[in-house]
Chains A and B, each alone.
Chain A
Amino acid sequence: MDKKKDIMNIPKQPISQRILKYTLTTAIVFASLWSAAGLEITIERILDAPRQIGILVGAMFPLDTSQEAIDRIIPKVFESLFIAWAGTVIGAIFSFPVSFLAAQNVAVGAVSRITKQILNAIRAFPELILAFVFLPITGLGAFTGTLALGIHSIGTLGKLSSEVIEGIDEGPLEAIKSSGGSKINELIFGVIPQVMPTITSYWLYRFEINLRASAVLGVIGAGGVGQELINQLRFRDFPRAGTVLICTIALVLIADAISASIRNRIIQGKVVKG
């Protein structure tokens, strides 16, 4: 044994771990090469991409800040905000009772299982697919987007809320039961006060997600700022597209900040000074 090994007596990684490591690395490299080849992505295209992106970004500046552009874009940006909010409210109102039916510790086993499967099925459809299925029925416009967001939110919020309900502390429920409270009393005074803060923060969190989703919905004509962006890009009006983009970013950043601070306040409580 040579000297170096003698001093640094580091144990070797077990052989099974090393095999796993090399197989994974090979699999990842192979998967990316297979994908790149299948999508006809060549080195030249990759090397040329930064230049092309630079041209697009360059074409957006200076931004189009004319009165006409602002008058068109700002209402659309706010429309996205309204769609996201209304969609979240629909999701919150409907998912709240449903989540009690889906929670194992509140509802009977069969009811809970069936409700959970229904929620899973709703969640499986992306908002955009729901939106274009509704589009021919409810027509172009913000209402279709609201409906799509609302229904998708019922699925996601229902799942999250039911998991919150399943994780509650059973102690208060027992206390209510032992003092003669009914099942309804248990729900109102035992379950709801425990889950409300977390569920409310999930509603706000969902609002943040819905805001991004509602910006996208305009792409297929379901209202909001996405429509404006795709139109300007189609007509090659890049300065105006840049304005749309900046306005969207500003809206999302501001709404995120407000929503996150309210969420923190709800979850962590008031900070008492002194």
Chain B
Amino acid sequence: MINIPKKPPPSYLVTIGIPFAMLFTVFSFQRVGFNLKDFRENLANRAIVTDPLFNPKWSWAWENTADAMVETVQIAILASIVGCAIALPLSFYASRATNLNKYSYFLYKSFLNLVRTIPDLFWAMLFTVAVGIGPFAGVLALIMFSLAIMGKLLSETIDSIDPGPMEAAKATGSTHNQTVFTSALPQVLPNFTAYFLYIFELCIRASVILGLVGAGGVGRIIETQRIFLRFDRISPIIVIILVVVILIEQFSVWIRRRIL
């Protein structure tokens, strides 16, 4: 007879969690108005969208999107550079390894968490109200967006650096700032570059939709055509966006391979 050890009883996470998750799922589907019959009926009317969507008006898109597309890329470039530049010093304050003051560490960490909870388009809406409609609001929104991501990624990287070089610098009598500057910063610079390129890609994707709330870029053209259901004009714009996004991602992958 094979002596199989007894299976341990499932944890409370499984016994309570799974039924709860199932109930919550059923409830959620009810609340969002999920209804297969209606859905099937609605799908029968898909022609209003799919017909124009698959008959793109290329000539119109070529004439009208070039400037806005450049604007989109410019928003992403400026916002990712400024956002990451601001995040660089903040991350050192938001890491336990380099900020010895417990309270200021907690303060910076909470600030970064707070910025991260607000979605990019919410920032864009708030900034369009504050500084007016246009790409400047978009830049500010994406600065907050990249600041939040870089702050989280970089401060966690700083948390896990090798403490050896910092101890060595301290042993030679350097001040805390000198220690951070000469031994912590060089350790995370390669990560910083990699994260920057990643954030730049995210910013390009995010800046495409900023225009939906008036914060500049190619989304502004999508928004005006969307309201009039001109999907024949939207579909070529989407294709152009996809091509640009893919090209920029390839470029960023190429740079990453060169410098890292």
Contacts from A to B (Cβ < 8 Å): 20, 24, 28, 31-32, 34-36, 38-41, 45, 48-49, 52-53, 55-56, 78-79, 81-83, 85-86, 89, 124-126, 128-129, 132-134, 136-139, 141-143, 145-146, 212-213, 215-216, 219-220, 223, 226, 229-230, 233, 245, 248-249, 252-253, 256, 262, 265, 270
How many A-B pairs with Cβ below 8 Å? Answer: 157
Q: Pick the contact of B77: A32, A124, A213, A229 (CB < 8 A).
A: A32
B135 close to chain A: CB less than 8 A: yes
Give the residues in chain B near A134, CB-CB below 8 Å: 49
Q: How far is the CA of A196 from the CA of B245 in the complex (A)?
A: 33
Is B136's CB under 8 angstroms from A45's CB?
yes
Give the residues in chain A near B2, CB-CB below 8 Å: none
**Which of B115-123, B159-167, B176-184 has 4 or more CB atoms under 8 Å from chain A?**
B115-123
Q: How far is the CB of A41 from chain B (nearest CB, A)?
A: 5
Q: How far is the CA of A136 from the CA of B209 in the complex (A)?
A: 19
27 pairs from A and B in contact (CB 8 Å cutoff): A31-B81, A32-B77, A35-B75, A36-B78, A39-B74, A39-B78, A49-B130, A52-B130, A83-B28, A85-B25, A86-B32, A89-B28, A126-B205, A136-B49, A137-B48, A143-B33, A143-B34, A212-B119, A213-B119, A216-B120, A219-B125, A220-B212, A226-B122, A245-B118, A249-B114, A253-B117, A256-B117
B13 close to chain A: CB less than 8 A: yes
B42 close to chain A: CB less than 8 A: yes
Give the residues in chain A near B247, CB-CB below 8 Å: none
Q: How far is the CA of A141 from the CA of B27 in the complex (A)?
A: 16
Whether A85 contacts B117 in the complex (CB less than 8 A), given A38-B74, A41-B78, A137-B42, comes out as no
B231 close to chain A: CB less than 8 A: yes
Within 8 A of A (CB), among B127-142: 127, 129-131, 135-136, 139-140
* CB nearest neighbor in A for B238: A129
B11 close to chain A: CB less than 8 A: yes
Whether A82 contacts B28 in the complex (CB less than 8 A), given A35-B75, A49-B130, A138-B42, comes out as yes
Is A39's CB under 8 angstroms from B136's CB?
yes
B17 close to chain A: CB less than 8 A: yes
Give the residues in chain B near A136, CB-CB below 8 Å: 48-49, 229
Is A39's CB under 8 angstroms from B135's CB?
yes
Give the residues in chain B near A212, CB-CB below 8 Å: 117, 119
Give the residues in chain A near B120, CB-CB below 8 Å: 216
Q: How far is the CA of A20 from the CA of B259 in the complex (A)?
A: 9
Q: How far is the CB of A172 from chain B (nearest CB, A)?
A: 16
Within 8 A of A (CB), among B226-241: 226, 229, 231, 238
Within 8 A of A (CB), among B51-109: 53, 70-71, 73-75, 77-78, 81-82
Whether A137 contacts B135 in the complex (CB less than 8 A), given A85-B28, A142-B32, comes out as no
Q: How far is the CA of A6 from the CA of B74 in the complex (A)?
A: 48
Q: How far is the CA of A94 from the CA of B216 in the complex (A)?
A: 35
* CB nearest neighbor in A for B45: A137
* CB nearest neighbor in A for B242: A124
Q: Pick the contact of B34: A86, A128, A137 (CB < 8 A).
A: A86
Is A32's CB under 8 angstroms from B81's CB?
yes
Give the residues in chain B near A126, CB-CB below 8 Å: 205, 208-209
B39 close to chain A: CB less than 8 A: yes
B188 close to chain A: CB less than 8 A: no
Within 8 A of A (CB), among B6-65: 11, 13, 17, 24-25, 27-29, 31-35, 39, 42-43, 45-46, 48-49, 53
Is A86's CB under 8 angstroms from B28's CB?
yes
B169 close to chain A: CB less than 8 A: no
Q: How far is the CB of B2 from chain A (nearest CB, A)?
A: 12
Give the residues in chain B near A78, CB-CB below 8 Å: 31
Nearest first, the 4 closest Cβ-Cβ pairs linking A and B are A35-B74, A35-B78, A142-B32, A82-B28
Q: How far is the CA of A213 from the CA of B118 in the complex (A)?
A: 10
Q: How far is the CA of A134 from the CA of B216 in the complex (A)?
A: 24
Beyond A124-B245, A212-B117, 17 extra complex contacts between A and B, CB < 8 Å: A38-B71, A39-B74, A39-B139, A40-B135, A49-B131, A56-B129, A85-B28, A86-B34, A124-B242, A125-B242, A143-B39, A146-B34, A216-B120, A216-B121, A252-B117, A253-B117, A256-B117
Is A133's CB under 8 angstroms from B231's CB?
yes
Q: Pick the contact of A233: B25, B129, B135 (CB < 8 A).
A: B129
Is B136's CB under 8 angstroms from A143's CB?
no
B213 close to chain A: CB less than 8 A: yes
